[in-house]
Amino acid sequence: MKKSHIIVLALLVAAIIGLVIWNLSQRQELNEMVEQMTIEKEELQEEYEDLALQFDGYQQMDIRNDSLQDLLSREQQRVQDLLEELRTTKASNARKIAELKKELATVRAVMRDYVRQIDSLNATNARLTQENIQVRQENQQVRQHNEQLTQANTQLTETVTRASMLEITSCSVTMLNKNDRKTRIASHVRKLQFDYTIAKNITCTPGLKDLYVRVITPDGDLIGESETKLFAFESGEIPFSMTQQIEFTGEPFTGTCYCPFDENTKVEKGFYTIDFFCEGNLIGSFPFQLKK
């Protein structure tokens, strides 16, 4: 065989080997890309499922506003449709995954607006209910007693006391696993995060306030109960789950507190209640549900 032929043959073999190596490299990069897209799809799906659970929670509340209830129902169905669309989308379809991410951000923004409306509506209903109760009580007292001056003084004192009380107008719950990541599975929950809002109150004396929180399980037990963790309420002392010191200036205040579960505690599904206390008063009570 001529020397030139050998050289050509060697170059051809080298080219083939190079092509094979390049092909294997491309295939590996493609596999890694598909694996990454699969992870992103799973994370996006979990976010959609969490949002669907939040809609379920608000649907079970007594909103008393048919228009808002219908809007919530439509957005809830929209989330279900997008979730189903995501489930049927291949992980390799990067364009579709990106579109569904944008849709998720849009739905979340809409939900935040609805939550604000619900909180405002609930706060208004609560105040109106309290006012109606007060009116009935006052009328009954007037009919039963002829002590108008004493009655007026008592009512004035109660009004001033109520006006100076803090009021938590909203509270949202986030379930966290042992890695402090959001989860929707009750058995994976190791900590509860509560994001709350205290309404503006220029009547309340500003300064440091001790906030006490009680979290009640579906069985009626207090999470984190201890004989040493007590605070004054009404004519005695009651235990609390956690406490937090805040500085209230009279302006709206937003805060976050955490309720960890003991490592050996089995977290049960069902309806829980979180109660907030400050300066011997119950200033907010909110139900929430752990599912799955």
* pLDDT tens, position by position, 205-259: 899 999 999 999 999 999 988 888 999 998 899 999 999 999 999 999 999 999 9
The pLDDT > 70 percentage for the chain reads: 65
Looking at the structure, do residues 191 and 109 belong to the same domain, yes or no? no
Instruction: Write the CB contacts of 241 (distance below 8 Å, at least 6 apart in sequence).
Output: 213, 214, 215, 222, 223, 224, 225, 229, 259
Domain hosting residue 21, numbered range? 3-118
pLDDT at 25 over 70: no
How confident is the model over 178-186, as a mean pLDDT?
90
pLDDT of res. 167: 92
Higher pLDDT, 96 or 245: 245
Q: Is the pTM of this model over 0.95?
A: no
pLDDT of res. 116: 75
Task: Locate all alpha helices (DSSP H) within 165-284, ordered by sequence.
Answer: none
Looking at the structure, do residues 171 and 71 belong to the same domain, yes or no? no
193, 177 contact by CB (below 8 A): no
In this structure, is residue 8 part of a structural domain? yes
CATH number, residue 210: 2.60.40.10
Looking at the structure, do residues 105 and 172 belong to the same domain, yes or no? no
Q: Which of 118, 142, 176 is the last residue before a domain boundary?
A: 118
pLDDT of res. 156: 41
pLDDT at 287 over 50: yes
Distance, in Å, from the CA atom of 161 to the CA atom of 9, rounded to the nearest integer, reads 98
Distance, in Å, from the CA atom of 257 to the CA atom of 244, rounded to the nearest integer, reads 7
In this structure, is residue 212 part of a structural domain? yes
Model confidence at 149, pLDDT cuts 50, 70, 90, reads: very low
Torsion of CA 140, 143, 145, 147, to 10 degrees: 100
In this structure, is residue 70 part of a structural domain? yes
75, 107 contact by CB (below 8 A): yes
Strand arrangement of the beta sheet that strand 281-290 belongs to: 242-248, 207-216, 270-278, 281-290
pLDDT at 113 over 90: no
